[in-house]
Structure 1
C-alpha cells in the first residue's frame, strides 16, 4: 500500500463515521443543519448573501432511505446517489446547502505593486500560500470586500492541471483577494472547516469531482458541480474529534509515505546498482576464478605487439607515435612512454590478479578507423536512435550504398566496439559490438567513438563490458568538453583509458558470467 492509498483509506473511514466512535450525547447533525439553514435565512434577509433558487433538503424517509426535496418539487429518493451508509446521527447534505457562498475570483493582471495582494493557483503549494511571492493587483475600493479572503475560507482550483485542489485559509499576513481561476467557498462558523478540508481530500470528493469535470484540453470544474456534491456531515463535536484524530494520524501517514517512496526508489535503482557492482567485480578479477592453465595476459600482449609490428610493416595500420608499455617493477606500476619511464601507481584504481596486465585502450585498438571499400558496396547505416542503451549490446541498421555515407559519417565494421560520445547518450551507455552488417561494413552518426582490433587476438565483448562500467562512465563525464547539452567525450580519453586485461580465455568466462547475472538483474 502506498502512502496515498493509506491516506485515502483513512479519509474514507473518517467520512463514513468509522474513524472515531459516535457519542450518543452529541447533538445530531440534523439539528446542526437546521441552525445553519436558519442562519442562512437571516443572512439573506440582511442582504449579506443571495437566496438560493432551488434549495436542497435531504432527509430520511419513513423507510429509512434518503430523500431530497429541491425547491418546491416533490421529494425523491436518492438512495442510488448515496455512496455508502453513515451513522444515524449524521446527515447527507449538498455542498451548496452548507455554503454561505460559492464565488469565483477576481480577474486582473498580476503586478509587482498594486492596491492589494491577489492569491493565484500557482501561489498555493503543499497546502500553503507562498505569501512572499504573491503578486499585487489593482482593484476598485468598492469591489475589495466581495473578494477579500477571511480565515476559514476554502479556495478551490477550478481549471488546469490542479483542478479540484483545495486550500483552507488559516493565516492572512496582510489583506488579500483571490484570482479568477479560484473559487472561494465560505461556511457557517458552526461547521469545523478542517473537517470540510479533509473531505475535499477524500476519494468521495474526488470521485464526484471527476464526474462533474468538463473533459477538455484544459479540464475545469464550475461552482455548480461543487455545489451539487454530496457531503456526509457528522455532529459538531464529532467533526472536531475526527479532525483531531486525522491530525494525529496524518503525521504518521506522511512518514509512512516518505519511507514507502524511498523504499520504492531503492527497489527501482537496485537492479542498476547491482549491474554496476557486477561489472566492477568482473574487471577486478573477482567474478570468476583464475585458471592457472590460461596463457598470462603478458604473453598475450607480446603476441599483440608482434602482430601490430607486422601489420605496420604491411601498411595495414599506422604506427602509434606514442606507444605505451606498462610493466611492474619493485611492486609498483611503471609506464614507458616516448622513451621515458615513470611510476603510474597513482593512476591504478585497484589491484588485479597476477595473470592480468594494465594497458591503455590506445595500445590495443585503433581508435576511429576509416573503411576503404568500393563505392557500390551495400553497407549498414546506423543513426543514434538505432544504437541501444543500457548494459546489453544492441543495435540495428538501415542499408545504404557506401558512396552515400562514406563522407561525413563515422566508419565502423563487424566486431568493432562503438561508443556514443555525446551527452546524455554516453551516460546512458549507448554502446555495442557491431555485428551482422551487410558486407561487414557500415557508417553512422558522427557522435561515436570506434574501437577496432586489427590483430583479432582480443575477445571484443569484454571491452564493450569495460565501456559500460561505472568507472568508465564517470571518468568520461569528468573529461567532457563542449557547451551545455552538447558535451562530448574526446578521443584522448578513450585512447588513454587504463583497462585491466585478463587472459583471453578468462575474458570469455567473465563475459559469459556477466551476461547471465545481468539477465537475472533484468527480471528483479
Structure 2
C-alpha cells in the first residue's frame, strides 16, 4: 500500500502568517482597560531589542567585574584556566554579529516589529555534554532520539556520569530551547515547558537561553517551526554524510521580532488555532488511510476470490486441470536434459516433494488441482554480459503498479554489476526474492533496445505452454502466496528477509484449466480498475 503522509500545508501557512505579522492585528491593546493615554503605546520590537541587548550587556559587565576577567579572554595567571574559560569552551563566543542587509530580508513585517539576529536575542548558545549513556544513575541525559512529536519520552532517556559542577552548567531549565545540530534530525527543536529535576542535555544538541521576561518562549519555538527558519537552516547546514549545523549558523539567523505584547497575542491565537489544525490534519490523514486501506483490502479480496475459483463459474467442457498438469510434467521431464549453457531453457533438477493434506490452505473446485510452483515454470539460464545490455534491478520496477519503468538502464559489459546474470524474455515473470513483501514483481511486457539481463535478486519464471502467465502473476500477488513467501520459516533475515529459489518453487499453486485461467484474468482486469477508484 502507498505510504500516506500527513498534509501539513495548512499548519505551515498559519505559522507563516504568524511570523509575517498577518495572523493578528499588530495593534494590541494593553492588558488593563483603565489606563492613562500615555500608557496606551506599547513598546516596539526595536525598543525591545535595544532593551534586551542593553540589559544583557549590563549583566555581562557586572559578571566581568565580579570575576575579574573578560568572557572572551582566558586567564594566564599561574598557567590555570578560569571557570569562565571552561564555560566559554562550551558556549558560542559572543562575536560581533554582522548587520542585516536588504538582500537577507525575505518579506515585509509590521512597522512596530524589527529584524534581528538570533544571537542578539539569546543569552547563550551552548553545546551539550558528551558522555556515554548509562542504564542507571542519578542524572538523566536527554538525546536527540528521546525527543518525539514535541515531547521528551522520559521512560527512554538514559543516565550519565557527570560531576556536580557540570550538572550546574548543563542542567536543563524551564524555557530552554534544544536544537538538534547533526544527522537526519538536524534542526528539530524542543521547548522545555516544565521544571525538570536532574536532567542534562547530550552533545549532539545545542541549548539556547533567553531572558524570558522579555521574550515569549513559545514565540521563539514557533519561529523554529516556520519556513523562514528551515530555509535558513538549509542554507547554513554543512552537507556531509552527517549533515550538521553549528551554533554560529544558528546565531546568525534572522528573526522577525514583534513587541512582547504582540508575541503573547500570537501565541495565544496559535494555542486556539493549532489544536483545530491538528484535528483537521489528522482527520484528513485518517480519511486517506482508510481510503488506501479499503482499496488495498478490496484488491486483496478480489485476488483471493479469483484464486479460490469463486470469481467465475466452472465450465465442464474446459476439461480437468489434472490432465493439464500431467502434460506439463511430461514436458518438464523432457526439459530435464537441459544444459547450464546460456540461453537454454532450464528447470529445477531437484525433485519436488509430494503435496500433503496439511499444506493445502483452502478448498478448490473439483476440476482444479494443487501443484507446486516449480511444476509450472522454467527459466532461461544465466550469462555474464559480453555486450551492451539493458539491466533490470529492483529499482527498475514500479512496485505500486507492478510495471517496469519506462526508462532503460543501459550498461556496458565492462561496467556490469556482479549480480547482472539472469536472462529474461518477453512474457517472463520476475519476482524479487529479497523483501518479497514489497511486491517488486512484474511481467516483462515490452521490447528493449538491448538484450535485457536481470539481477540475481529476482526469480525469473517462464511459464509452460499450458499456463497463462497473467494468471500465475496474479496468484503470486494474492494473499495466499504472499503469506507463504513472507512466512518467517521461508523468508530468512531481519532487515532484508529473503526467500531462496528452492523455497519459492515449493510454494503451492491452485491450478484451473487453461480456458478458465484466461476467464479469471479477464474478470480480475475488469474489477481492479473499479478498485482503484475507491482511493480516488
Q: Contact 1:109/1:137 (CA < 8 Å) preserved in 2?
A: yes
Task: Quote the offset at 1:308 in angstroms.
Answer: 8.4
Question: Is structure 2 residue 143 aligned with structure 1 residue 120?
Answer: yes
Q: 1:235 aligns with which of 256, 259, 267?
A: 259
Going from structure 1 to structure 2, the CA distance change for 1:493 and 1:348 (only over 3 Å counts) comes to farther
Q: What is the number of equivalent residue pairs in this alignment?
A: 453
2:7 aligns with one of 3, 7, 17: 3
Q: CA deviation at 1:11?
A: 0.8
Q: Residue by residue, what CA displacement relative to the aligned partner does 1:354-410 show, whole Å, maximum 9, x if unpaired?
A: xx8332236x99457799xxxxxxxxxx999699796769899xxxxxxxxxxxx99
Q: Do 1:393 and 1:431's aligned partners in 2 also have CA atoms closer than 8 Å?
A: yes
Larger Rg: 1
Find 2:367's aligned residue among 357, 372, 375.
357
Query: 1:242-257 counterparts in 2 under 5 A?
Result: 242-257=266-281
In structure 2, distance between residues paired with 1:235 and 1:104 = 29
Distance 1:187 1:430, change over 3 A: closer
Per-residue deviation, residues 212-268 of structure 1 (Å, max 9, x unmatched): 223333322222222222222222222222112212222222233333434444566
- 2:237: which partner in 1? 213
Q: What CA distance in whole angstroms lies between the structure 2 residues aligned with 1:311 and 1:207?
A: 65
Question: Match of 2:52?
Answer: 36
Question: Which stretch has the larger CA shift, 418-427 or 194-203?
Answer: 418-427
Match of 2:439 in 1: 428
Q: From 521, 526, 532, give the equivalent of 1:511.
A: 521
**In the alignment, which residue of structure 1 is the partner of 2:188?**
165
1:130 aligns with 2:153: yes
Q: Distance in 2 between matches of 1:313 and 1:121?
A: 62
In structure 1, how many angstroms separate the alpha carbons of the residues matched to 2:135 and 2:329?
A: 75
CA distance in 2, matches of 1:257, 1:15: 21
Tell me whether 152-161 or 23-32 shows the greater mean CA deviation: 23-32
Query: Quick one: distance in 1 between partners of 2:173 and 2:395?
Result: 60
CA displacement, residues 25-59 of structure 1 (integer Å, 9 cap, x when unaligned): 46223443344234223312320799899xxxxxx
Native 8 Å contact 1:360 1:495 kept in 2: no
Q: Does 1:13 align with 2:10?
A: no
Partner of 1:348: 363
Q: Describe the SS at the equivalent of 2:229.
A: helix
User: Match for residue 62 of structure 1?
Assistant: none
Matches for 1:328-477 after TM superposition, within 5 Å: 347-348=362-363, 357-361=367-371, 366=375, 422=433, 424-425=435-436, 428=439, 430=441, 459=468, 461-474=470-483, 477=486
1:23 correspondence with 2:13: no
Evaluate the alpha carbon distance shift between residue 365 and residue 296 of structure 1 in structure 2; reply closer, same or farther with a 3 A threshold: farther
- Of 205, 210, 228, 1:182 maps to 205
Question: Are the aligned partners of 2:115 and 2:254 in contact in 1 as well (CA < 8 Å)?
Answer: yes
Equivalent position of 1:261 in the other structure: 285
Superposed CA deviations along residues 416-440 of structure 1, whole A, max 9, x for unmatched, are x86859563377274759999xxxx
Residue 215 of structure 1 aligns to a residue whose secondary structure is: coil
CA contact (8 A) 1:387 1:430 kept: no
Q: 1:72 to 1:522 in 2, by over 3 A?
A: closer
Q: Secondary structure at the match of 2:218?
A: helix
Q: Distance in 2 between matches of 1:393 and 1:4?
A: 31
Separation of aligned partners in 1, 2:330 and 2:504: 25
Q: Is the 8 A contact 1:480 1:490 kept in 2?
A: no
Long gaps (5+) in structure 1: 54-69, 325-336, 372-381, 397-408, 437-441
Instruction: Tell me the CA shift for residue 198 of structure 1.
Output: 0.9
Correspondences of 1:285-324 after superposition (within 5 Å): 296-297=317-318, 299-300=319-320, 304=324
Tell me which residue corresponds to 2:88.
Answer: none
Tell me which protein shows more strand as a share of its residues. Answer: 1
Residue 369 of structure 1 contacts residue 412 of structure 1 at CA under 8 Å; is this kept in 2?
Answer: no
Contact 1:389 1:425 in 2 (8 A): no
**Structure 2: distance between partners of 1:312 and 1:39:** 90
Q: Given the alignment of the two structures, is residue 88 of structure 1 paired with residue 97 of structure 2, yes or no? A: no
Q: Deviations over 1:474-503 (max 9, x none)?
A: 35555944744355697799576444x36x
Match of 1:98 among 90, 107, 121: 121
> Given the superposition, is the C-alpha separation of residues 184 and 480 from structure 1 closer, same or farther in structure 2, using an over 3 Å criterion?
closer
Contact 2:328 2:375 in 1 (8 A): no
Aligned counterpart in structure 2 of residue 195 of structure 1, from 219, 228, 231 = 219
Q: For 1:142 and 1:321, how far apart are their aligned partners in 2?
A: 72
Secondary structure of 2:208's aligned partner: strand
Cα root mean square deviation, aligned: 5.5
CA drift at 1:18? 1.8
SS of 1:47's partner is helix
| TM-score when normalising by structure 2 | 0.64
Question: Could you tell me how far apart the structure 2 residues matched to 1:6 and 1:177 are?
Answer: 35
Alpha carbons of 1:295 and 1:434: their partners in 2 closer, same or farther (altered >3 Å)? farther
Alignment of 1:482-501 (within 5 A): 483-484=492-493, 485-487=497-499, 497-499=509-511, 501=512
- Cα distance between partner residues in 1 of 2:424 and 2:107: 68
- Counterpart contact for 1:12–1:203, Cα < 8 Å: yes
Output the CA distance in 1 between the equivalents of 2:335 and 2:183.
68
Structure 1 residues 35 and 278: CA distance shift in structure 2, 3 A? same
